[in-house]
Amino acid sequence: MSQKSVCVYCGSRPGADPAFMATADTLGRALAEKNWRLVYGAGDVGLMGAVARAAQAAGGDTFGVIPKHLVEWEVGKVDLTRYIVTETMHERKKVMFMNCDAVVVLPGGAGSLDELFEVLTWRQLGLHEKPVVLVNTNGYWDPLIALMQHVVDNGFADATLLDYYTAVPDADAAIAALT
Protein backbone atom coordinates (compact mmCIF):
# COMPACT_ATOMS: atom_id res chain seq x y z
CA MET A 1 0.00 0.00 0.00
CA SER A 2 1.33 3.43 -0.89
CA GLN A 3 1.84 6.17 1.64
CA LYS A 4 -1.23 8.26 2.45
CA SER A 5 -0.90 11.97 1.65
CA VAL A 6 -2.86 14.70 3.39
CA CYS A 7 -3.11 18.19 1.90
CA VAL A 8 -3.26 20.89 4.57
CA TYR A 9 -4.70 24.29 3.74
CA CYS A 10 -3.95 26.92 6.37
CA GLY A 11 -2.93 30.50 7.04
CA SER A 12 0.40 32.03 6.07
CA ARG A 13 0.03 34.07 9.26
CA PRO A 14 -0.03 32.77 12.84
CA GLY A 15 -3.46 34.25 13.62
CA ALA A 16 -4.53 36.01 16.82
CA ASP A 17 -5.12 32.91 18.98
CA PRO A 18 -1.99 30.94 20.06
CA ALA A 19 -4.14 27.80 19.79
CA PHE A 20 -3.97 28.12 15.99
CA MET A 21 -0.18 27.61 15.95
CA ALA A 22 -0.46 24.84 18.55
CA THR A 23 -3.03 23.05 16.36
CA ALA A 24 -0.76 23.32 13.32
CA ASP A 25 2.13 21.91 15.35
CA THR A 26 0.03 19.02 16.67
CA LEU A 27 -1.29 18.20 13.20
CA GLY A 28 2.16 18.22 11.58
CA ARG A 29 3.55 15.93 14.27
CA ALA A 30 0.54 13.59 14.08
CA LEU A 31 0.80 13.27 10.29
CA ALA A 32 4.45 12.24 10.62
CA GLU A 33 3.66 9.78 13.41
CA LYS A 34 1.04 8.16 11.16
CA ASN A 35 3.64 8.06 8.35
CA TRP A 36 1.32 10.21 6.24
CA ARG A 37 2.92 12.69 3.86
CA LEU A 38 2.16 16.36 4.39
CA VAL A 39 1.22 18.16 1.17
CA TYR A 40 0.97 21.92 1.64
CA GLY A 41 1.77 25.33 0.17
CA ALA A 42 5.53 25.20 0.89
CA GLY A 43 5.62 28.36 2.99
CA ASP A 44 7.79 28.73 6.10
CA VAL A 45 5.57 31.36 7.74
CA GLY A 46 2.43 31.29 9.89
CA LEU A 47 0.50 28.06 10.29
CA MET A 48 2.04 26.76 7.06
CA GLY A 49 5.54 26.91 8.51
CA ALA A 50 4.40 25.48 11.85
CA VAL A 51 2.74 22.40 10.35
CA ALA A 52 5.76 21.70 8.13
CA ARG A 53 8.39 22.19 10.84
CA ALA A 54 6.45 19.91 13.19
CA ALA A 55 6.13 17.21 10.52
CA GLN A 56 9.85 17.47 9.74
CA ALA A 57 10.84 17.39 13.42
CA ALA A 58 8.88 14.16 13.80
CA GLY A 59 10.60 12.62 10.77
CA GLY A 60 7.71 13.13 8.35
CA ASP A 61 7.66 13.27 4.58
CA THR A 62 6.85 16.77 3.31
CA PHE A 63 5.72 17.87 -0.14
CA GLY A 64 5.51 21.61 -0.70
CA VAL A 65 4.14 23.45 -3.72
CA ILE A 66 4.57 27.20 -4.14
CA PRO A 67 4.06 29.58 -7.07
CA LYS A 68 7.16 31.51 -8.07
CA HIS A 69 5.64 34.88 -7.14
CA LEU A 70 5.20 33.76 -3.50
CA VAL A 71 8.65 32.22 -2.94
CA GLU A 72 9.89 35.34 -1.12
CA TRP A 73 6.58 36.48 0.42
CA GLU A 74 5.72 33.11 1.99
CA VAL A 75 9.43 32.32 2.45
CA GLY A 76 9.60 29.13 0.38
CA LYS A 77 10.67 26.25 2.64
CA VAL A 78 13.31 24.63 0.46
CA ASP A 79 14.40 21.92 2.96
CA LEU A 80 11.27 19.81 2.38
CA THR A 81 11.34 16.21 1.15
CA ARG A 82 9.93 17.53 -2.12
CA TYR A 83 9.73 21.21 -3.11
CA ILE A 84 7.99 22.30 -6.30
CA VAL A 85 7.77 25.83 -7.70
CA THR A 86 4.82 26.39 -10.05
CA GLU A 87 4.09 29.22 -12.47
CA THR A 88 0.66 30.15 -11.04
CA MET A 89 -1.63 29.82 -8.03
CA HIS A 90 -4.01 27.68 -10.10
CA GLU A 91 -1.20 25.27 -10.92
CA ARG A 92 -0.16 25.18 -7.23
CA LYS A 93 -3.68 24.21 -6.12
CA LYS A 94 -3.97 21.56 -8.82
CA VAL A 95 -0.61 19.96 -7.97
CA MET A 96 -1.40 19.97 -4.25
CA PHE A 97 -4.84 18.41 -4.74
CA MET A 98 -3.66 15.83 -7.30
CA ASN A 99 -1.00 14.65 -4.85
CA CYS A 100 -3.23 14.02 -1.84
CA ASP A 101 -5.75 11.50 -0.58
CA ALA A 102 -7.52 13.88 1.80
CA VAL A 103 -7.70 17.57 2.73
CA VAL A 104 -7.46 19.16 6.17
CA VAL A 105 -8.27 22.85 6.56
CA LEU A 106 -6.83 24.70 9.55
CA PRO A 107 -7.69 28.31 10.37
CA GLY A 108 -6.68 30.69 7.62
CA GLY A 109 -7.74 33.62 5.48
CA ALA A 110 -8.92 34.24 1.95
CA GLY A 111 -6.43 31.79 0.41
CA SER A 112 -7.56 28.96 2.68
CA LEU A 113 -11.20 29.78 1.94
CA ASP A 114 -10.45 29.77 -1.80
CA GLU A 115 -8.84 26.35 -1.53
CA LEU A 116 -11.66 24.96 0.62
CA PHE A 117 -14.41 26.21 -1.66
CA GLU A 118 -12.63 24.93 -4.74
CA VAL A 119 -12.46 21.36 -3.38
CA LEU A 120 -16.05 21.57 -2.10
CA THR A 121 -17.20 22.74 -5.53
CA TRP A 122 -15.28 19.94 -7.24
CA ARG A 123 -16.91 17.45 -4.87
CA GLN A 124 -20.35 18.94 -5.56
CA LEU A 125 -19.67 18.45 -9.27
CA GLY A 126 -18.66 14.81 -8.74
CA LEU A 127 -14.98 15.36 -9.60
CA HIS A 128 -13.63 13.69 -6.45
CA GLU A 129 -14.63 11.90 -3.26
CA LYS A 130 -11.66 12.81 -1.07
CA PRO A 131 -12.46 13.54 2.57
CA VAL A 132 -12.32 17.20 3.60
CA VAL A 133 -11.83 17.93 7.30
CA LEU A 134 -12.34 21.41 8.74
CA VAL A 135 -10.39 21.88 11.99
CA ASN A 136 -12.56 24.28 13.98
CA THR A 137 -9.97 25.41 16.54
CA ASN A 138 -11.71 27.33 19.33
CA GLY A 139 -14.74 27.82 17.08
CA TYR A 140 -12.77 29.66 14.37
CA TRP A 141 -14.90 28.20 11.57
CA ASP A 142 -18.27 28.55 13.37
CA PRO A 143 -19.37 31.50 11.15
CA LEU A 144 -18.40 29.54 8.02
CA ILE A 145 -20.30 26.45 9.19
CA ALA A 146 -23.34 28.66 9.83
CA LEU A 147 -22.91 30.23 6.38
CA MET A 148 -22.86 26.81 4.73
CA GLN A 149 -26.17 25.96 6.45
CA HIS A 150 -27.53 29.37 5.35
CA VAL A 151 -26.60 28.61 1.72
CA VAL A 152 -28.48 25.30 1.92
CA ASP A 153 -31.45 26.81 3.78
CA ASN A 154 -31.81 29.47 1.10
CA GLY A 155 -31.83 26.99 -1.76
CA PHE A 156 -28.41 27.69 -3.29
CA ALA A 157 -27.04 24.23 -2.56
CA ASP A 158 -28.42 20.81 -1.88
CA ALA A 159 -28.14 19.61 1.72
CA THR A 160 -25.53 17.10 0.53
CA LEU A 161 -23.06 20.04 0.48
CA LEU A 162 -22.94 19.73 4.27
CA ASP A 163 -21.85 16.10 3.91
CA TYR A 164 -18.81 17.03 1.81
CA TYR A 165 -16.80 18.14 4.83
CA THR A 166 -16.45 17.09 8.44
CA ALA A 167 -15.92 19.75 11.11
CA VAL A 168 -13.80 18.67 14.07
CA PRO A 169 -12.58 20.58 17.14
CA ASP A 170 -8.85 19.85 16.98
CA ALA A 171 -5.94 18.15 15.24
CA ASP A 172 -6.37 14.85 17.06
CA ALA A 173 -9.99 14.67 15.91
CA ALA A 174 -8.87 15.45 12.36
CA ILE A 175 -6.48 12.48 12.43
CA ALA A 176 -9.24 10.29 13.87
CA ALA A 177 -11.62 11.41 11.10
CA LEU A 178 -9.07 10.37 8.48
CA THR A 179 -8.23 7.02 10.06
Instruction: Locate the domains of the chain by residue range.
Output: 5-178
Of residues 80, 62, 56, 59, the one with CA closest to residue 8: 62
Q: What is the mean pLDDT of the chain?
A: 96
- Does 1 score more than 70 pLDDT? no
Do 27 and 54 contact (CB within 8 A), yes or no? yes
What is the C-alpha to C-alpha distance for residues 139 and 27, in angstroms, rounded to an integer? 17
- Does 2 score more than 80 pLDDT? no
- Does 72 score more than 90 pLDDT? no
**DSSP-based three-state secondary structure for 34:** coil
Q: What is the model's pTM? A: 0.95
The Cα-based distances of 104 to 6, 31, 108, 114, 176 in angstroms read: 7, 11, 12, 14, 12
Average pLDDT over residues 22-36: 98
In the CATH scheme, what architecture does the domain 5-178 have?
3-Layer(aba) Sandwich (3.40)
Average pLDDT over residues 138-142: 98
Q: Cα 115 to the chain's mean position, in Å? A: 8
What is the C-alpha to C-alpha distance for residues 41 and 55, in angstroms, rounded to an integer? 14
